[in-house]
Amino acid sequence: MRLNEYADSLRALRRSLGLCWRAAPRELVQLTLLSAGMGAGPAFTLFLGKVVIDQTARIAESRSESGTLHHVLANPVLLWAVVGFLVAHVVLDTVETIQGFQVGAFRDKLEGSTTYLMYDKVAGFEDIALFEDPERLNILQLAEQSIPRIHQLATTVSNLMIGVFVLVPVVGLSFSLAWWVPIVIFATAMPSVLVQLGFERRAWNVEETLAGTTRSMRIRGQVLTSPEYAKEIRLFRLQPLLLAGWRTLFHDTFDHMQRVRRQGAVRVLAWSLVSGPGVGIPYAFVVLLAASGQFSLGDLALYAGIVFEVRRSLFILAGNGSSLHEIALASRAAFRLLDLEPTLVSRTPALPTSAVVSDAGKGLVVGGVTFAYPGSERPVLQQVDLEVRPGEMLVVVGENGAGKTTLAKLLCRLYDPQEGTITWNGHGIRSVDLNEWRDRIGVVNQDYARFPATMRENIGYGQLSGLDDDERVRAAAGKAGLLPAVAKLPRDLDTTLSKQLDHGIEPSGGQWQRIAIARALMRDDATEILIFDEPTAALDALAEHDILGILRSMAKGKATIVISHRLALARDATQILVMEHGRVIERGTHPELMAKSGVYHDMFTRQASSYVGLDSLPATEGALTDPRRRRLDRSSASLSDESSCPDCRVREREPGV
């Protein structure tokens, strides 16, 4: 098992270094040359220091009548050694400064390259299992944690090169002192290095084990700091509970890591004591030789410095080697993400796309579909069948958790079912190019996106080819009833819709709903299938009436699927499916299902009983005499033939809609 871990780490290290080369080859070559200069510097300056000391000692011993300055000037070896010593330090300082700039450039390029690589991989998943499967979420979490560590490669690689270029010349000089000196220093230093590497491996294993806890802690932190939760957290005084939960998770993670750190620190310190004699013995040997007259004072300074430089370079290599090992362990998660294959694969169309479009009249057919989310054995959908043709509207109703939204995900091909087929115009959607398929679908999701971007972008993202087409964007906004709101924006379509960005504003919930509809309208000309998942969930009754009119207009000539637990559109449906626990338990038109007195009848009646019939309200009520009364009357007549309209409760109109 341990051998396999080391093999994985080595493979990850090789790939990490490959990332470095691909990200910044020029900077890496320049850094190598600069590191060679800096590495050779200590040995060169030690040698020049020996020359200066020896020549100075000779002048001091001569004690001739001529002045000291005369002897110094008359000694070219000493003069050149002093000049060389000074120049070497100036050059080393300059090289160190330049190297700092190069390390910064190398780090920035590596950061940009690896971060983009991760984003590109995540963006390349055509399905959404990566965001809904706990096992894959753990991989994503660990990969995100590994990115900062991979960015440390720039500094670590630079320091390792310096360590190598320091070590090589000083080891060569130490062999000239005695062949056994570098061997003793190496032998006594290696145990602590190996123990340190083992500690890094155990620490990363703990991080992998605690990935789920770390993710929970991060989610709690996001809840505390995100504006979408701010109001309810304060209204319900949830701060102490959330903070306590975060602290509990933090201390649990910290305690696990601290135990590993203590064990590692004790072992590393114990073996570090062994490395002390490894330096002391060679140093004592140099002092004895100097005292016996076999070495000059310059030799003493040179070889004493070399002994300590060997040890210093070893610790540079050990420390950065340990960091490199930690980076290799961390980068395994990043490469697991990069190697992860999506569960959904796009294929070339079995027939040209024109054949898919022109083969009209067959519509969308779902046959025997069964589906369970990745990592779960419990089916969310079981043996679901449905059919909807162009110009027809299918309304799927049911309680929360019935599988309605999951069905929408399958129709958009965000997942593929484990069993059954989904066909459009007689062709299985798995055999059609994924982008071609999605280009023909207009979707308004229940959890629609609120992009921190401009109004133009929030609408234009629905069809990127029309993003810069003012007329097209305004047309979509107009159909969604947004033009009055756009006219009031400080920068018209180019107003940023996010208070988290400079000069941004935050639209109301109803406005965001209209923006999502406008986004779907951007591709209205190419759309063949419409999927509305709770399209009026955030709207009041008056705004809902407007939106339902827009949706009916959008649905003309298209195969339309409306998913809702509110039944306002059920009256217009060609067919209604009632779902429960992932199965279709009833199907038919509104009159047919009402006549059956089954689940749909109960749902409709229960919703209707929650609202007050207009005729039963007091005639003195001011709200019944204004234009809103007439509007609600029209809404009631168009949506229901029952005595009370299920979705016409009189509520305050949401601001800005």
CATH code for the domain of 162: 1.20.1560.10
Is it the case that residue 634 has pLDDT exceeding 70?
no
271 shares its domain with 330: yes
Residues 271, 410, single domain; the answer is no
- What residues have CB less than 8 Å from 631, skipping those under 6 apart? 542, 545
641 within domain boundaries? no
Domain identity same for 283 and 410:
no
* CA nearest to 302, candidates 38, 45, 39, 40: 45
Whether 596 and 480 share a structural domain? yes
| 382 and 308 fall within a common domain | no
Q: Do strands 583-588 and 575-580 pair parallel, antiparallel, or not at all (unpaired)?
A: antiparallel
Residue 61 lies in a domain: yes
Tell me, yes or no, whether 657 lies in a domain: no
| 291 and 417 together in one domain | no
Q: Which of 595, 610, 625 is the last residue of a domain?
A: 610
User: Structural domain tally of the chain?
Assistant: 2
Element (H, E) at 298: helix 297-339
1 CB burial (10 A radius; 0-12, 13-18, 19+): exposed
Give yes or no for a contact between 353 and 526, defined as CB atoms under 8 angstroms apart: no
103, 123, 145, 215: CA torsion to nearest 10: 160
**Is 653 domain-assigned?**
no
pLDDT given at position 174: 75
Within-domain flag for 247: yes
Identify the CA nearest to 561 among candidates 417, 389, 359, 427.
389
Position 647 in a domain: no
Confidence of residue 348 (pLDDT cuts 50, 70, 90): low
> pLDDT by residue (tens digit) across 27-61?
888 888 888 888 778 878 888 887 888 778 777 77
| Residue of higher predicted confidence among 215 and 469 | 469
Q: Which residues pair with 347 in a beta bridge?
A: none
Q: How many CB atoms lie within 10 A of CB 137?
A: 17
- 304 and 443 assigned to the same domain: no
Residues 329 and 434 in one domain: no
Task: List pLDDT tens digits, range 169-218.
Answer: 777 777 777 777 777 777 777 776 667 666 666 766 666 677 777 777 88
What pLDDT score does 271 carry? 67
- pLDDT-based confidence at 538, cuts 50/70/90? low
If asked whether residues 119 and 79 sit together in one domain, one would say yes
Boundary of a domain, candidates 309, 339, 369: 339
Asked if 372 contacts 380 with a C-beta cutoff of 8 angstroms, the reply is: yes
Q: In what order do the strands lie in the sheet with 427-428?
A: 381-388, 364-371, 419-424, 427-428
Domain holding 37, by residue range, is 14-339
Domain containing residue 565: CATH number = 3.40.50.300
Read off the DSSP letter of residue 454.
Answer: B
Q: What is the mean pLDDT of the chain?
A: 77
In this structure, of 17-21, 93-97, 324-328, 447-451, the range with the lowest mean pLDDT score is 324-328
CA distances from 272 to 191, 268, 278, 326, 439 (A): 8, 6, 10, 20, 64
568 falls within a domain: yes
**Residues near 624 by beta carbon (within 8 Å), at least 6 away in sequence:** 614, 617, 618
Return d(Cα 166, Cα 38) in angstroms, integer. Answer: 8
Average confidence (pLDDT) over 504-526: 86
Q: Is residue 315 part of a domain?
A: yes
Share of the chain above pLDDT 70, in %: 81
Contacts of 399 (CB under 8 A, 6+ apart): 565, 580
Q: Are 641 and 589 in contact (CB under 8 A)?
A: no
For residues 142 and 40, give the distance between their C-alpha atoms in angstroms, rounded to a whole number. Answer: 39
Cα separation, 44 vs 87, in Å, equals: 11
302 lies in the same domain as 366: no
One domain for residues 19 and 160: yes
Whole-angstrom distance, CA of residue 166 vs CA of residue 171: 9
pLDDT at 183: 77
Shared domain check, 267 and 154: yes
